Structures are given as C-alpha cells and as structure tokens.
Amino acid sequence: MKKVCFILMLFVTTLFSSSDAKLDMMERTVVKTIVSPYTGRVWMDRNLGASRVCTSFDDAQCFGDYFQWGRDSDGHEKMYSIITFETSSTNKTNHSKFIISNKKYHYDWRWKQNYNLWYRTGNLNNPCPNGFRVPILGELYEETLKQGVESMKDAFNSFLKLPAAGDRYFKDSIVYGKGKHGAVWSSTVIDNYSGMLFYSYMNANFEKHERANGLPVRCIKRLEFTYTPEPAVFRQ
C-alpha cells in the first residue's frame, strides 16, 4: 500500500512539474503562473483561493479569498468564516475566525500592530504558496497604473486578469462591492495602515486601508529584493 501511494505521489509531482504548474501538497492547490510582458516578473495567474482565471470582471469563481492584512492562510480568509470580536495578541491566531476590530486597535486584527508580518520578506505570515510572496506597491504599480490601468475593466483586461471581488468589511464581516469594485493587498506599510490597489468603474489608484479589512491577494514569485520605488501619492 505504501509503495502504491509513493508511486501515485511521484506521478502527480512529475505531472505538474513538467509544465508551468505545480501542486502544493500542503495546501492542496494548483499554482499556475504568468509572466509580465512589462517587467518579466512571474505572478500567479489568479487570486489566492480562486478556482480559475477570470472570464469576466464579475466572475465569482475567480474572486478568491479575503485576507486580513498580515494573517496567514488559517481559514479566516474564507468568505463565510465565522467572526470574533477578540483581537489577537500574537502573530498567529489559534483559530480560523474573521476578527472584527475598531478604532482602539487602529482597525487591526492584532491589538499590538506588527509591521513585519507581510512587509518585504513576508516570512512571518506569508499566505502565498512556497516560492511566492505578497507584492509591494511598487511592483503592483509597474504592472497596472504605469501601464494605463484606470478602471476595473482595465484591471480585468490587463495580463493579471484582476476581478471586481469587492472587500470584506472589518466592522461587520460582510463582503461589499462584488462586481462593482476590486482591490488587492500589497505588503507595503503606510503608518497604521497598509497599501492596496483599488479599482472601480471610473478610477484606479492606490489607497491605504485598515488591516482588519478582508481583501484578495495576488502573489508574485519570490526573488532577492531589488529596489522598486514605492508610489508616493495615495488617495486619502
């Protein structure tokens, strides 16, 4: 029996390593990649948790999961995960609940903020598969706004095929804006907030956002960091 299981695992590993896809045996997810025509950087072809590449900007099967900034893939990111009003005192929670926060905690799921959970190295709570990480704003800028992305339709028509997945609100855990606006987290820290790429019918720009909000994540292949300038202007 052990020999049969070993042969099956070997077959699956060989199957996926022979193309641009790999099977992450820990997360039970197939990770496919795309190469940027502008920078040559390698990205996942869909949001974390999405079952396929988007076929339209409002394709619900490509929305993916909704992560609170700095948390790993512990189950809280699922759209209908249960909630708790108790913020965390540690970098990793011992549950899969979506944490409701308030002004007292700077609208963060962690009561004492930690800027290093995703930023740059992303080693502490990196939600991405092995070999990938959450991008910084500068990397998102190079692939989107710099290339003329000015709306959610532009975001979908880009090589990243970004959907209008909305966001999960930190005050009530409801997902708002599906099919009306979209956003993806960056790992960039801005004061007590974190940076995101936001896009709607009429505009696309960078914003700083409360870390207890749930947003989609699009992972970039991990490389040794080269300097990528961060955008200096954010819509308040």
Q: Which residue intervals of 107-223 are DSSP H helices? A: 137-143, 152-157
Residues 6+ apart with CB under 8 A from 64: 46, 47, 48, 49, 50, 163, 165, 216, 217
Tens digits of residue pLDDT in 55-76: 999 999 999 999 999 999 999 9
Tens digits of residue pLDDT in 107-162: 999 999 998 999 865 578 999 999 999 999 999 999 999 999 999 999 999 999 99
